[in-house]
Amino acid sequence: MSVKERVIGTLRVIVSNAWVSIKNLMQRHTLLYLLLATIITTLSVIHYILTMLNWTQPGLTLDDSWIHLQFARTIYEGTPWEYSPGYPSTGSTSPLWSLILSSLFVFTRDPVQLVWGVYVISSIFYIACTFIVGRLLWGYTQRDYVAIIGMIGFVMVPRNTWLMLSGMETPLFMFILLLAVFLLERDGVRFDIALGVICGLAFLSRPEGILLIVVCVPLRFLIAVTQRKVSLQRIGSFLLMGVIAVLVVMPWILHCLSVTGLPLPDTFYAKVHVPTEEEIAVWNFWWNYFIFQMPHILIGAILGIVLVAKKAPYCWILAVSLTILYRMTLPYLSLINNARYLVPIFDLLMIAAVGGLATLMERLIKYRPEVKKELSIEMLVGIVLILLLIVPIVESYMYQADLYGNAVKNINEQQVAIGKWLYENTPEDAVLAIHDAGAIRFFSNRTVIDLAGLVSPDIIHGNMSSLQTLIYLRDHGCEYFVFFNELMRWWLQLMPGAVTTLYTVHLEDNVISGRDTMSVYYVNWTLVTIID
């Protein structure tokens, strides 16, 4: 035996013994999964935050993230859901997330400290997501190495850490979805009751959470029927599940009804519509790019069927259902802001890809016994999983870290800076007409009228023409417009000679804001002639 062969043999023994030790620990200590999830997730969080600090001071990647913090502040101050004083709103897409963030105001009102608090809360949910991913994959394959690779793949899904640390509700929404999948794949009445609570919370995390009730719960019942596990008691537990879910969401629905007369938040009515051909074309273009950039999407979409055959269909069915929902209702809007709506789909398909590919490979290898003589099954499957699912996304994962820092810098330099300027240079009773409703409202602490309608019910449901909107703004004492310069040109045509530009911010490296340039405009209404 040559020296090379002896060294290789020794290394194999060392690796084999180490792996056996890890497996034994895994079998004895479920907490080790939590430890690994914490390490894997925290390393990614630290990577992105340190990269961001090289770009700018702590902040959030999306202006909408500050909307959640503004709602959180109103909850803490005892006037919940009044986005501006005296103006109740249903514009929160995630009332549960705002409720959770409101706890931060118990400790501080400093914006930078609040941001750090958002990072901490988001990271806790992110770690919990990674842990559940590991437990799900172990349940699918009974293989620890598959679970570990899956946890790494989940964290490295491009845009995942970017969005988890954005200040948006994604960490909460993903945690509830994954917890629902974990419970859905366990039989028994006690899990039905727990699912009722989870389904309600999913809707309060994002309206799309209703898919759990519409798609996953009926599928759970169908599986119970095929397994002949349906009794009067079980039917009763399913009915109770629905009752509990309704009770959980009912306070928010009642609030929406009291404000607008409609059961869903205004963000639904502002964004959901029949897609145009142009929007569908953009959707198709970007999905071709996503599949090229992230092979696990196509692999998960196809091999998720393997998990369906194992009566573990929920990750796959949720990914498919969300894809269909966004394609049918908001194909363009789901792509903007770094495709933030689609990231949960990418995450779920990573789980389906890892679980489905590992299961299929192990079954195929069993019919080729000669493979066992050359390389262990676990090593072979692990290498294939890494090469097909992890390696292709490394470059994009790294790119997203810089994009994260750049996006925070953009929001800090534009919306946050303008909000601070307004706080220092406008009277306390000033009313602002705005397009980006987050940081400008939070930092200026001024009353705002959102012309996009997300947090201003009168605008989204008023069916007003441009002239009627102008009259509405005048009658409500709105003397300031805070708009992207390109979008403001339309309003300038309606108020010739009456508008003065007070403050302008231009971004040279914009990657996330709607436009490069935003300004604060003052309107002298005595110079405005409105002809109905």
Distance CA(333)–CA(109), nearest Å, equals: 32
pLDDT confidence band for 490 (50 / 70 / 90): confident
Q: What is the mean pLDDT of residues 427-436?
A: 93
Please write the tens of the pLDDT for every residue from 293-350: 999 999 999 999 999 988 899 999 999 999 999 999 999 999 999 999 999 999 999 9
pLDDT confidence band for 456 (50 / 70 / 90): confident
C-beta separation of 67 from 148 below 8 A? no
pLDDT confidence band for 532 (50 / 70 / 90): low
The CA distances from residue 82 to 31, 36, 58, 267, 442, in Å, are: 42, 42, 27, 15, 13
Q: Given 3-state DSSP classes, what are the helix, strand and coil percentages for the chain, each rounded to the nearest 5?
A: 70, 5, 25
**Quick one: what percent of the chain has pLDDT higher than 90?**
68
Least confident of 152-161, 220-229, 307-316: 220-229
pLDDT surpassing 90 at residue 248: yes
Q: Which of 485, 503, 352 shows the shortest CA–CA distance to 419?
A: 503
C-beta separation of 512 from 406 below 8 A? yes
Give CATH for domain 408-527: 3.40.190
Distance CA(468)–CA(340), nearest Å, equals: 34
pLDDT surpassing 60 at residue 462: yes
pLDDT confidence band for 17 (50 / 70 / 90): low
What's the pLDDT at 459?
84
Please write the tens of the pLDDT for every residue from 260-288: 888 888 888 878 888 999 999 999 999 99
Give the max Cα distance, the chain.
Answer: 97
**Quick one: what percent of the chain has pLDDT higher than 70?**
92
DSSP result, 74-92: HHHTT-TTEEETTEE----
Domain range list for the chain = 3-51+60-407, 408-527
pLDDT surpassing 50 at residue 515: yes
Radius of gyration, CA atoms only, the chain: 26
The CA distances from residue 309 to 71, 104, 304, 416, in Å, are: 44, 45, 9, 50
pLDDT confidence band for 227 (50 / 70 / 90): confident
Neighbours of 103 (CB within 10 A): 13
Instruction: Give Cβ neighbours of residue 334 (< 8 Å, ≥ 6 apart).
Output: 283, 326, 341, 342
Mean of all residue pLDDT scores within the chain: 90
What's the pLDDT at 351?
97
What's the pLDDT at 338?
94
pLDDT surpassing 80 at residue 376: no
Q: Which of 123, 138, 124, 127 shows the shortest CA–CA distance to 30?
A: 138
Provide long-range contacts, Cβ within 8 A and 24+ apart, for 222-231: 223/311, 224/187, 229/187
pLDDT surpassing 70 at residue 440: yes
What's the pLDDT at 374?
47
C-beta separation of 159 from 343 below 8 A? yes
What's the pLDDT at 87?
86
Residue 431 φ then ψ, to 5°: -120, 130
Least confident of 366-375, 383-392, 520-529: 366-375
